[in-house]
Amino acid sequence: MSSKKLGFNLFYCGLILWLAACTCTKQAARKDAKMMVIDTKYGQIEAELYPEDAPQTVARIKELIEQGFYNGLTFHRVVPGFVVQGGDPRGDGTGGSGKKLPAEFNARQHVEGTLAMARASDPNSADSQFYISLGRHAHLDKNYTVFGQVTKGLEFVKQIRQGDAMTKVSLK
């Protein structure tokens, strides 16, 4: 084999290894991400995720975020003093990603800024829709999967109106 061909092959082998390492590092970083970031026209909302309390839910939320699923979706339900809800690709409260999640009810309380999964009457019907609690709602405790808490930008959550978009949702 000529030295030129050998150098060419070594270059491409090195490039492939580098790309593989970058991909693995990026996947590992996303797996370790502890924050969900929601960009809105009002500002950026940051929420801590609770993988120890809702491991399957947090894993699925992260997967959807990595796929860009939430980017551009709207908050289709806003009930002042109660919840701001989004994550429905249809925008009317009837859609989802197509993958139901098992209930992971936990001891976390519904306080202002709580992130939890919306669902139908079946406890195992949560999919991609989630809500942010706008106050203390004890009647929701242990009936819905709480998976996070807003840590920054609660003032922006309170400005959201029905039809407002999640410009971009990412992990941090």
Residue range 102-137, pLDDT digits in tens: 999 999 999 999 999 999 999 999 999 999 999 999
Note the pLDDT of residue 102: 98
- Could you report the per-residue pLDDT of 52-100, keeping only the tens digit for each? 999 999 999 999 999 999 999 999 999 999 999 999 999 999 999 999 9
Q: Are 87 and 156 in a shared domain?
A: yes
Number of domains, the chain: 2
Note the pLDDT of residue 4: 59
Residue 32 CB: number of other CB atoms within 10 A? Answer: 9
CATH code: domain of residue 120: 2.40.100.10
From CA 44, how far away is CA 46, in angstroms rounded? Answer: 7
Q: Are 82 and 161 in a shared domain?
A: yes
Q: Are 127 and 98 in a shared domain?
A: yes
DSSP string, 53-82: T-HHHHHHHHHHHHTTTTTT-BEEEEETTT
Higher pLDDT, 157 or 2: 157
Q: Are 10 and 65 in a shared domain?
A: no
Q: Which domain holds residue 83?
A: 33-171
